[in-house]
Amino acid sequence: MKIGVLGTGIVGRTLGSRLAALGNEVTMGSRTADNEAAAEWARTAGASAGHGTFADAAAFGQVLINCTSGMVSLTALRAAGADNLRGKLLIDVSNPLDFSRGMPPTLGVSNTDSVGEQIQRAFPEARVVKTLNTINCEVMIAPGSVPALHNLFLSGNDAGAKDETRRLLQSLGWPPASIVDLGDIGTARGPEMYLPLWLRLRMALGTGHINVAVMVGE
Amino acid sequence: MKIGVLGTGIVGRTLGSRLAALGNEVTMGSRTADNEAAAEWARTAGASAGHGTFADAAAFGQVLINCTSGMVSLTALRAAGADNLRGKLLIDVSNPLDFSRGMPPTLGVSNTDSVGEQIQRAFPEARVVKTLNTINCEVMIAPGSVPALHNLFLSGNDAGAKDETRRLLQSLGWPPASIVDLGDIGTARGPEMYLPLWLRLRMALGTGHINVAVMVGE
């Protein structure tokens, strides 16, 4: 599959490398065509890995993954171009972490809106699915690094897009039973507002290899 | 133990009844001394149950439990009176659910503040511990209604107050290993901002008998 990864941070590089290793063709996009992090990533991620601008990556991918910070995702996606997003599955992995108030960060978007909703509103012809934002990138590509069955969440308006997302998650090692469909893109507020708890669990437990398992009674 | 329960809603009534059944003396407080819900609760909760104003309940309790809505908790606690809170463990179970924007509710306090922090700031001589707000009241008093080990969170500035809270939680059936100390009262933002995810899990899964288990890798 041709995948466009938007963003050159640790999330984009880690997801991109794993998806390339799984046999996908991956192009990483950034603000400029000569981004050094993207070029270095492409050199090490194998023959099927390339890099370019956000627009290059978005035009290349049949599936797009937004790995930019949620604080700048709309800017990055505008640079990618609505024409390059139209009709495509756009997996939004971002969190709008705002470090300007100190540590731990607050959220730059929350409560009455979410980045997932902002993206879907700005690009109504993209098929946005929010997922993977509730774990760090090491766990994203190695769910077995956390014990037992633990959960991911899906938020999106398009059932077919969610099915495609499920298949991509399964290729990363996430069993079908681990994936909880929360509903439409409006439900992205839940997983995005979970981040402040995740941040404090990471601080209290001293590791980022954490995730929640949703336990359900009768 | 003498416990003051502030609030006459389903959370206060359920927690109060269970704590009375466990042998505690419980007084339920509300805005007015003749609150019908509190009077009815006291009639059915046994000889050790009483009711009165917020100030009556706060003066009575060695331990206080804030079961009012987080939207009105500061008002209720001001009515209870700083003198009646001084030096006492004040367990804050509240969530600031704002139903004015429709369902599911948003939070009336979030991101850059929390109700737990507001209460501690307003009553610096109370020993505030935030806990139990991440589950519904049926699970609060019957952790076994959800399978396996699942977690509660503690946020508070006073180590002794957290120890007292742990003992009270254990009396309700929560094993020590289920209780995660997140840190100071500032960490209450995490569990409070988790509520939007809880609300959407409840809608998606069709039951309120849910809780999260924190899974930790190496």
Instruction: Please identify which residue in the block is written with the tokens 């929560």.
Output: B174
Give the contacts of B111 (CB within 8 A, at least 6 positions apart).
Answer: A106, A107, A110, A111, A196, B189, B193
**What is the count of structural domains for chain A?**
1
ipTM > 0.90, yes or no: yes
Assess if residue B28 is contained within a domain: yes
Q: Residue B214: inside a domain, yes or no?
A: no
Whole-number Å distance between alpha carbons of B199 and B206 = 10
B106 touches A at CB < 8 Å: yes
- Considering the domain boundaries, does residue A30 fall inside one? yes
User: Partners of A181 in the beta sheet?
Assistant: A154
Sign of the four-CA dihedral A17, A18, A21, A25: negative
Are the beta carbons of A113 and A185 closer than 8 angstroms?
Answer: no
Residue A136, helix vs strand vs coil: coil
Closest residue on chain B to A155 (Cα)? B200
In-domain check, residue A50 = yes
Cβ A182–B201 below 8 Å, yes or no? yes
Above 90 in pLDDT, residue A62? yes
The mean-pLDDT minimum among A76-80, A205-209, A211-215, B43-47 falls in B43-47
> For chain A, what is the mean pLDDT?
97
Is A180 touching B (CB cutoff 8 A)? Answer: yes
| pLDDT at A181 > cutoff 90 | yes
pLDDT of residue A218: 80
In the predicted structure, residue A118 carries a pLDDT above the cut 90: yes
Instruction: State what percent of residues in chain A have pLDDT above 70.
Output: 100
Q: Is the pLDDT of residue A129 over 90?
A: yes
CA distance A189 to A105: 17
Residues of A in contact with B203 (CB under 8 A): 182-183
d(CA A201, CA A198): 5
What integer pLDDT is reported at residue B198 of this predicted model? 98
Strands B25-30 and B2-6: parallel
Q: Hey, are the CB atoms on A197 and B111 less than 8 Å from each other?
A: no
Q: What is the DSSP string of A11-54?
A: HHHHHHHHHHHTT-EEEEEESSTT-HHHHHHHHHS-TTEEEEEH
Contacting residues of A for B150, CB less than 8 Å apart: 215
- Would you say residue B88 lies in a domain? yes
The alpha carbon of residue B182 is apart from the nearest alpha carbon of chain A, in Å, by 5
What single-letter DSSP state applies at residue A56? H
Give the residue from chain B lying closest to A134, CA to CA: B197
Q: Cβ contacts of residue A72 below 8 Å, gap of 6+? A: none
The length of chain A, given as a count of residues:
218
> A45 in a domain, yes or no?
yes
Within 20-59 of B, beta carbons closer than 8 Å to A belong to none
Q: How far does chain B reach from its first CA to its final CA, in angstroms?
A: 41
Nearest-angstrom CA–CA distance, A69 and A83: 22
B111 in contact with chain A, both atoms CB, cutoff 8 A: yes
Residue showing tokens 């020590």: B176
User: Which residues contact residue A43 at a Cβ distance below 8 angstroms, ignoring those fewer than 6 apart?
Assistant: none
User: Using CB atoms, which residue from B147, B212, B215 is nearest to A148?
Assistant: B215
Average pLDDT over residues A24-35: 97
Contact A105, B111 (CB under 8 A): no
**What is the phi/psi pair of residue B165, to 5°?**
-65, -40
**What one-letter code names the amino acid at B66?**
N
DSSP A98: E
Cα separations (Å) of B63 from A187, B3, B80, B211? 37, 5, 13, 26
Which residues of chain B lie closer than 8 angstroms to A110, CB-CB? 110-111, 193
What pLDDT is attached to residue B218?
80
Residue B66's pLDDT is: 98
| B110 close contact with A: CB closer than 8 A | yes
What pLDDT shows up at residue B43?
96
Which structural domain range is residue B72 located in?
A: 2-205
Q: What is the mean pLDDT of residues A95-122?
A: 97
Mean pLDDT of A165-178: 98
Query: Domain for residue B210, yes or no?
Result: no
Residue A148 falls in which region: left (phi positive, over 0), alpha (psi -120 to 50) or beta: left
Say yes or no: B130 contacts chain A, CB-CB below 8 A. no
- Nearest Cα of chain B lies from the Cα of A44 at a distance, in angstroms, of 27
Tens of pLDDT, residue by residue, chain B (218 residues): 999 999 999 999 999 999 999 999 999 999 999 999 999 999 999 999 999 999 999 999 999 999 999 999 999 999 999 999 999 999 999 999 999 999 999 999 999 999 999 999 999 999 999 999 999 999 999 999 999 999 999 999 999 999 999 999 999 999 999 999 999 999 999 999 999 999 999 999 999 999 999 999 98
Residue B127, domain CATH: 3.40.50.720
- Whether residues A207 and B191 touch (CB distance < 8 A) is answered with no
Strand runs labelled E in chain A: 2-6, 25-30, 49-53, 63-66, 89-92, 97-98, 106-107, 127-130, 152-156, 179-183, 210-216
Domain assignment of residue A143, yes or no: yes
**Helix axis angle, A115-122 to A189-205, nearest 10°:** 150
> Are B199 and B107 in contact, with CB atoms under 8 Å apart?
no
Q: Do B200 and A181 touch (CB under 8 A)?
A: no
Residue B63 burial (CB count, 10 A)? 21
